[in-house]
């Protein structure tokens, strides 16, 4: 029944070593989002895809990139992780225009640690 | 830009009692959505309840209900008959639909503990 799936649940990387987080969805939603949530803080939107159109938030660092090869998958790439990038990364989907779907569906998140 | 304020960083409630979480927001928009999301220790964000701004009737979902005061820009969540499983961080969120996607702004959250 999993609808938005994030792998892995926990990811450990080294300072400066590139890391990729993945998200897949079985909902066929056209919008996918990546949020960063640091400890005891609110989720912060990094960017989102509307179909293949990439939309970056103005304050998202260049260190963060994303790819969406098809409707089902979306990846978050951190090119050179710093200690400040340790956080929970949440993937979400939405499909505007369908009343029952007018909300965000979240995955379980990937907790990233940077050593 | 929209802002969402949750003025209660932490709250506690006895099991089976009722608790109200506060949320205020600031916007110049007239059409928007408001949400309460629950984030238990597992960190999964779970939608609790949603309110469309154009609807005057307050949303309800089983033991969860909201008090939506549009003029006052207030959107509080009432949890009745609190259960241990309600222990979680609760986020209030303001949502706009723009260019086919949701622009969601979250408050800082209220940590709710249900005490046996």
- Residue A86 pLDDT: 97
In the three-class reduction of DSSP (H, G, I as helix; E, B as strand; rest coil), residue A54 is classed as strand
- Please give the residue that has the higher pLDDT: either A8 or A103: A8
- Burial class, A15, CB count within 10 angstroms (exposed 0-12 / middle 13-18 / buried 19+): exposed
* DSSP-derived 3-state class of residue A72: coil
Q: Inspect the interface and report whether the beta carbons of B45 and A90 lie closer than 8 Å.
A: yes
The pLDDT mean for chain A works out to 91
C-beta atoms of B101 and A48 within 8 A: yes
Question: Model confidence over A52-69: pLDDT tens digits?
Answer: 999 998 899 999 999 999
Q: Which of B23, B61, B100, B106 to mutate to test the interface with A (most CBs of A within 10 A)?
A: B100
Residue contact A43–B91, C-beta within 8 A: yes
Q: Which residues pair with A77 in a beta bridge?
A: A20, A65
- Best probe of the B interface among A3, A31, A43, by most B CBs < 10 A, is A43
Instruction: Tell me which of A49-58, B33-42, B51-60, B91-100 is least confident.
Output: B91-100
* pLDDT at site A98: 59
Degrees, nearest 5: CA angle B46-B51-B56: 160
């Amino acid at each position: 029944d999993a609808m938005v799936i994030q792998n892995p649940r926990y990811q450990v990387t080294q300072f400066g070593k590139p890391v990729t987080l993945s998200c897949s969805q079985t909902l066929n939603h056209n919008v996918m989002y990546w949020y960063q949530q640091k400890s005891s803080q609110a989720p912060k939107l990094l960017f989102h895809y509307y179909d293949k159109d990439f939309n970056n938030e103005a304050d998202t660092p260049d260190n963060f990139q994303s790819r969406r090869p098809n409707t089902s998958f979306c990846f978050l790439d951190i090119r050179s992780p710093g200690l400040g990038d340790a956080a929970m990364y949440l993937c979400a989907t939405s499909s505007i225009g369908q009343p029952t779907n007018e909300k965000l569906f979240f995955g379980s998140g990937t907790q990233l640690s940077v050593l | 830009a929209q802002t969402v304020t949750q003025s209660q960083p932490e709250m506690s409630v006895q099991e089976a009692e009722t608790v109200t979480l506060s949320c205020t927001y600031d916007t110049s928009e007239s059409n928007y959505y408001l949400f309460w999301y629950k984030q238990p220790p597992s960190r999964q964000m779970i939608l609790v309840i949603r309110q469309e701004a154009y609807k005057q009737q307050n949303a309800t979902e089983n033991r969860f209900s909201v008090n939506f005061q549009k003029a006052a820009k207030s959107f509080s969540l009432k949890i009745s008959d609190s259960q241990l499983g309600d222990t979680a961080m609760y986020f209030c969120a303001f949502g706009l639909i723009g260019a086919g996607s949701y622009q969601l702004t979250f408050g800082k959250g209220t940590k709710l503990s249900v005490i046996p």
